[in-house]
Structure 1
Amino acid sequence: MYAELPAPAGLACLWTRTVSSPTVQRVVPDGCTDLMWTPASGALFVAGPDTSAQLASVAPGTLYGVRLPPGAFPSVFGVPAHAVRDLRVPLSDLVPSARLTSFSSMVEFCASRVVVDPALTATASLLRSGDVESAAWEIGLSSRQLRRRCLDAFGYPPKVLQRVLRFDSALKLAWAGKPFASVAFEAGYADQAHLAREVRTLAGVPLGQLIRP
């Protein structure tokens, strides 16, 4: 069972996942990063920004997570997001001084350090709705400067960030029950075939299978 909880300002959400037997969970890219804690082992891990689906083995029990929105990773963990792209890293490797022993301490740790940068929010918004060159012009950056900003803050080069954000928008629309043709149009794909190709590339399975209960 997966559940999301309201989060303090600056965080995307708090979440828990409880399973009664070992299972494998497909985790798809969404541009976010997570701090995760398993009470049974005491393990604290940071999940970096993914570029494709990850198959995670989940042990029986409850896994607790704090999800950071796209662009927030460096302010909390002190390193560029691209340093942990597609990785799961012990928190102690990034912040050796952190001493977290409960879900509430995880939340406090992230909430006290996160910085919401309006410039990064604007960057993500522009890339969701337009092409990379137009986004760079609107922000007032060169293509090279935009690439550096995106790699450090989001973990992706601009075109990959654009694909991930568009895919995340499409997935939310599909979960809401929109017909796939409408999903493709509203999320900004050329057509439904384009949507299908991108979903297979980023998630590894067709959209219908991905949103199946």
Structure 2
Amino acid sequence: MTYAERPAARAGVVLWRSSAPAEPARQPSLILPDGCLDLLWDGKTLRVAGPDTKAHLHVPRGDENFVALRFAAATGPAALGISAAEVVDQYVPLADLWGTRRAWLLEEQIAQGGAAALEQWLLTAPAPADPLGGNVFRMAQTGLPVAEMAEHTGFSARQLQRRSKELFGYGPGHLLRVLRLQRALARARAGQPLAGVAADAGYCDQAHLSREVRALTGRTPGELVS
């Protein structure tokens, strides 16, 4: 599978493309949770890939091609007018969320204009009116504990849990785990020893790192890095 991405026309959004070879060369790929939501065009249908709580395998069809937007920092629910909780761990046609006619109109534009049309839609889509999503995402990226997140936002822990599910599909505690996994893998892939990765990424020790990686991905850290 080939893959390329670049920043899109709005902060917190990435435009990406991928293509898979025809059978029999296709290979499954492991999709890791990243706290993001994606809007994908496969040449026929727009679909929403909701936030993943755990990793899952994707087996591409022959000659599969995508152009898509990846929304981080809770920008996706605002742009699409949905709650992330509606699509967590799901891959659904946009028509199921918007209705057939509204989704069809956007699909017609993208069928004609491709990535440029998708990005043009992004420029007209609603942006988050509340900075909470971006703030929580940035705090989770730094590893700030949930209690301190709540204190910074002025919400109780229960209120922050509810709002985070709307914005990310899951609570701030799980968002912390997902983004900590991403930090750890980036360090490990850069060649840092796992003991140092565990300390720098916020795990108690290397054993804690291994347990969390397996819980979220079904793999050991070494398997993911290799």
Report the TM-score when normalising by structure 2: 0.85
Aligned residue number for residue 139 of structure 2: 126
Q: Does 1:25 align with 2:29?
A: yes
Q: Does 1:186 align with 2:188?
A: no
Cα distance in 1, alignment partners of residues 210 and 139 from structure 2: 23
Alpha carbons 1:18, 1:60 under 8 Å: kept: no
Please, what is the CA RMSD of the aligned residues?
1.7
Cα distance in 2, alignment partners of residues 104 and 23 from structure 1: 29
For 1:29, the aligned partner's letter is P
Aligned residue number for residue 115 of structure 1: 127
* Count of aligned pairs: 210
Identity of aligned residues (%): 38
Any stretches of 5+ residues in structure 1 without a counterpart?
none
Q: How far did residue 26 of structure 1 move?
A: 1.0
Runs (4 or more) in structure 1 with deviation over 4 Å come to: none
2:85 corresponds to which of 69, 82, 107: 82
Cα distance in 2, alignment partners of residues 53 and 191 from structure 1: 22
Deviation per CA, 1:88-135, whole angstroms, max 9, x where unpaired?
010111223132222222222234325255332222232342211121
Report the TM-score when normalising by structure 1: 0.90
For 2:31, the aligned partner's letter is V
Q: What SS does the corresponding residue of 1:13 show, helix, strand or coil?
A: strand
Q: Does 1:69 align with 2:72?
A: yes
Any stretches of 5+ residues in structure 2 without a counterpart?
none
Alpha carbons 1:33, 1:70 under 8 Å: kept: no
Cα distance in 2, alignment partners of residues 139 and 79 from structure 1: 22
Cα distance in 2, alignment partners of residues 196 and 114 from structure 1: 40
Cα distance in 2, alignment partners of residues 190 and 12 from structure 1: 32
Cα distance in 2, alignment partners of residues 167 and 104 from structure 1: 33
Highest Rg: 1 or 2? 2
